């Protein structure tokens, strides 16, 4: 990364560990990273494996930082922010990044002040293996340098996509955030289909997960549309055509659209809880 800032992570959960690990592997200096957490187990692991600075004191790490990543559970966010606002000097000079789901930027202004610079990031669980899809959104007061800094940081755990507003972030969350669960559900059903026909669980899983991985890689590398890729595999009158026919009869596109809409509605409902 070209833009090196002191960055503090408040909370040391799996997503923080993944993001910090990705940043360090991408060449970000460990001495510029600070992490706080109430318990020491996760902190000790990160200090040993990555060499970052750790503390159980949120104020200590936030005070060192140019950028603060809020990585605590949404129900804890109000108290954490109130503590930061009371004890951290020059908070308006620091870039605030949040990876908490559901809480809108207007709420962070209530928590931390009208003049803060805030970027919301919605990473998904494949970030834990470096294959994430992180959605990002911000306000007009945030400069390009801040946007570029956060983009590079989260590119360390996959790919990033800036959206226009928080309504779009809700949609991204319903697709990229919830999407891994949809794929796991589908993969599980395929594996069970193979098991019903005699495959043992280990072989069924190996077959399904490699097929899924290969199909995703083909989609990523091809210039064809997803529909065209599907057509390439589907010989007229063949076995694949018969299988696809079943999905079409069950109206898979409608099912998927309804699933996304249901997740969007829930994202919008959760935003009202905080």
Read off the pLDDT of residues 142-178 as tens digits, 9 standing for 90 and up.
999 999 999 999 999 999 999 999 999 999 999 999 9
- With 0.85 as the threshold, say if the pTM is over it: yes
* Whether residues 159 and 190 fall in one domain: no
* Whether residues 21 and 107 fall in one domain: yes
**Domain count of the fold of the chain:** 2
Q: How many helices (H) and strands (E) does the chain have?
A: 12, 8
* pLDDT at position 273 over 90: no
* Whether residues 194 and 146 fall in one domain: no
Q: In sequence order, which residues have a C-beta less than 8 Å from that of residue 5 and are 6 or more positions away?
A: 32, 65, 66, 67, 95, 149
Residue 204 within a domain? yes
Burial class (CB in 10 A: 0-12, 13-18, 19+), 61: buried
* Structural domain boundaries, residue 46: 7-163
What pLDDT digit, counting tens, does each position of 24-47 carry? 998 999 999 999 999 999 999 999
Count of beta carbons in the 10 Å neighbourhood of residue 83: 14
* Whether residues 37 and 101 fall in one domain: yes
* pLDDT at position 22 over 80: yes
Three-state secondary-structure class, residue 198: coil
- The CATH number linked to 194 is 1.10.3730.10
What pLDDT digit, counting tens, does each position of 89-100 carry? 999 999 999 999
């Amino acid at each position: 990364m070209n833009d090196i800032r002191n960055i503090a992570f408040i909370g040391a959960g799996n997503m923080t560990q993944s993001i910090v690990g990705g940043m360090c592997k991408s060449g970000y200096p460990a001495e510029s990273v600070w992490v706080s957490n109430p318990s020491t187990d996760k902190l000790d692991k990160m200090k040993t494996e990555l060499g970052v600075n750790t503390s159980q004191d949120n104020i200590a790490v936030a005070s060192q930082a140019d950028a603060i990543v809020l990585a605590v559970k949404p129900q804890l966010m109000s108290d954490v922010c109130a503590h930061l606002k009371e004890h951290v000097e020059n908070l308006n000079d620091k870039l605030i990044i949040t990876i908490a789901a559901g809480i809108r930027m207007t709420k962070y202004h209530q928590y931390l002040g009208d003049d803060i610079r805030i970027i919301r990031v919605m990473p998904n669980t494949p970030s834990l293996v470096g294959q994430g899809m992180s959605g990002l959104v911000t306000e007009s007061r945030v400069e390009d340098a801040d946007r570029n800094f956060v983009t590079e940081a989260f590119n360390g755990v996959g790919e990033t996509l800036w959206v226009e507003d928080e309504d779009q972030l809700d949609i991204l969350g319903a697709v990229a955030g919830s999407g891994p669960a949809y794929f796991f559900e589908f993969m599980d059903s395929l594996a069970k289909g193979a098991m019903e026909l005699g495959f043992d669980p280990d072989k069924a899983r190996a077959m399904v997960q490699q097929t899924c991985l290969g199909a995703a890689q083909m989609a990523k590398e091809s210039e064809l549309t997803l529909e065209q890729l599907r057509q390439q595999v589907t010989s007229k009158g063949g076995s694949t055509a018969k299988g696809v026919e079943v999905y079409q009869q069950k109206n898979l596109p409608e099912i998927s659209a309804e699933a996304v809409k249901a997740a969007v509605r829930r994202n919008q409902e959760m935003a009202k809880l905080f």
